[in-house]
Structure 1
C-alpha cells in the first residue's frame, strides 16, 4: 500500500514539474500596473527597457534582478536613462580589438651560404 502511495505521489510531482516547464515557454510579458515615483540610484540599475502600450513606462532592471516601472516623463527617469546610455557607450568604446594577421609579427630566418 505504501508503495502505491509513493508511486502516485511521484507521478503527481513529475506532472507538476512537466506542467511548470511548459508554462515557462510562454514569452515574457512585462506589464506595469503602477509606476515607481521615488528616484532610484543609478548605481543599482543594471539595464532598462522601454515599454509602449496602454501604460508607457521605463522598466529598470536592478543588479538584484528586480523590475521597477517608472514614468518615462519624470526628470529622474530621463536622467537615469541618459546615464545608462552613457555607460554603455563608454564600455563599447573601451573594448580592445585583437590584432589582425597583417599586424602580427612574423619571424623569417635567412641562411647565408658562401
Structure 2
C-alpha cells in the first residue's frame, strides 16, 4: 500500500470509530439510575403511594414511590397494583383541573 491509501484508511477508520463511540452501541446505553431487578411480594398501603413508573426492561415491573420516598418494585399484573395505579392516575387528573 502506498502512503496515500494508508492515510485515507486510517482517517475513515477514525471517523467510523468516533461516530460509533459518540452514538454508543445498544450494550453501552446506560439504564435508568434506578430500575427494578427484584420484585416485592408484599402489598403496599395504597394511601402511602404518591407516584409510580412502569418499566419493561430488565424485568416487567411497576415501581411505586411512597410518601417516605421508598421505591418498591412489584409485578404489574397483581390486582392491587392495578387499583393503586388507577387511584394515582385519578389523583393526577383531579390536580390538573
Tell whether the structures are fold-level matches, with TM greater than 0.5: yes
Cα deviation, residue 54, structure 1: 2.8
Does the aligned pair in 1 maintain the 2:52–2:63 contact within 8 Å? yes
Considering only aligned residues, what root-mean-square deviation do their CA atoms show, in Å? 1.7
Q: TM-score, normalised by structure 1?
A: 0.54
User: Which 5+ residue runs of structure 1 have no aligned equivalent?
Assistant: 1-25, 94-114
Cα deviation, residue 42, structure 1: 1.4
Match of 2:84 in 1: 80
Say which one has the larger Rg. 1
Q: TM-score, normalised by structure 2?
A: 0.63
* Aligned residue pair count: 68
Question: Structure 1 residue 35 and structure 2 residue 21: aligned?
Answer: no
Cα deviation, residue 31, structure 1: 2.3
Match of 1:49 in 2: 53
Higher relative contact order (CA 8 A, sep 6+): 2
Q: Which of the pair is proportionally richer in helix?
A: 2
Flag as ranges the 4+ runs of structure 1 deviating above 6 A: none
Cα deviation, residue 70, structure 1: 0.6
Question: Using the alignment, how far apart are the partners of 1:37 and 1:59 within structure 2?
Answer: 13
User: Which 5+ residue runs of structure 2 have no aligned equivalent?
Assistant: 1-29
